[in-house]
């Protein structure tokens, strides 16, 4: 007797929503529920809930925000890809794609969409990644092709684009008002390591003092949510 492996096309695609804002989850749930070929299999607001739901519900696609309160969405993407590589990931974020789209793809995501553009495009984006294709804006796709071909971007990269994923996370936490000790506790790193990150950030952003770093971080957080 031959066995039958269920495929996404045989049933509605299961969609997991990961966002720490209940209103965002509600908006996504309403849009997804209208699609006859999709269904919500779960919602989560942090990493622990997300990983538990992925194990228990086996989603076909997970819509994930980069900023999850105290958690790091990029780290969650890496963990999902390590544990459940069959789950396709679409990042939905307020952060500019010039800073986070490529980072998200490197972590294992298959698409990136800004929350400001999401209302009219989220269903299209979900279907695109479900079909095994990357979903990016035309401008971001051109930029990545340019990088692959070794061409310089027409617009110089912002200084923040030179930061590593961890450095950008530290910058975000500084902008949120956390002290060095608090950042170290949240990221499970020593104070010395966080101080090293702070020095690297200041060097890359051409900042001389801790006060300048604090102002720059606060401004960055204000502009990027």
User: Above pLDDT 90, what percent of the chain?
Assistant: 38
pLDDT band at 56 (very low <50, low <70, confident <90, very high): very high
Q: Answer whether residue 69 shows pLDDT above 90.
A: no
Residue ranges, CATH 1.10.10.10, the chain: 159-224
Q: How far apart are CA 212 and CA 45, in angstroms?
A: 33
Task: Tell me the per-residue pLDDT of 181-224, one tens digit each, with 9 for 90 and over.
Answer: 888 998 888 999 999 999 999 888 888 877 778 877 877 766 66
Architecture of domain 159-224: Orthogonal Bundle (1.10)
Tokens representing 101? Answer: 């789209």
Residue ranges, CATH 3.40.50.2300, the chain: 8-147
Mean pLDDT, residues 132-152: 68
Please state which of the four CATH numbers 3.70.10.10, 3.40.50.2300, 3.10.620.30, 3.30.365.10 is assigned to the domain occupying 8-147: 3.40.50.2300
178-209 burial, b at 16+ Cβ within 10 Å, e below that, comes to: bebeebbebbeeeeebbeebbebbbebbebee
């Amino acid at each position: 007797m031959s066995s039958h492996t269920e495929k996404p096309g045989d049933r509605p695609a299961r969609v997991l929503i990961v966002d720490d804002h209940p209103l965002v989850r509600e908006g996504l749930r309403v849009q997804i529920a209208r699609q006859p070929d999709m269904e919500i299999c779960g919602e989560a607001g942090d990493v622990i809930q997300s990983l538990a739901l992925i194990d228990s519900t086996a989603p076909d696609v997970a819509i994930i925000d980069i900023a999850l309160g105290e958690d790091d969405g990029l780290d969650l993407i890496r963990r999902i890809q390590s544990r459940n590589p069959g789950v396709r990931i679409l990042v939905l974020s307020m952060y500019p794609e010039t800073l986070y789209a490529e980072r998200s793809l490197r972590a294992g995501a298959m698409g990136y969409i800004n929350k400001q553009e999401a209302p009219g495009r989220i269903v299209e984006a979900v279907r695109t990644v479900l079909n095994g294709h990357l979903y990016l804006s035309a401008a971001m796709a051109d930029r990545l092709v340019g990088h692959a071909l070794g061409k310089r971007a027409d617009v110089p990269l912002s200084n923040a684009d030179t930061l590593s994923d961890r450095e950008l996370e530290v910058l975000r936490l500084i902008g949120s008002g956390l002290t060095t000790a608090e950042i170290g506790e949240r990221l499970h790193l020593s104070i010395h390591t966080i101080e090293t990150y702070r020095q690297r950030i200041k060097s890359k952003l051409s900042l001389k003092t801790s006060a300048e770093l604090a102002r720059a971080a606060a401004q960055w957080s204000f502009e990027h949510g």
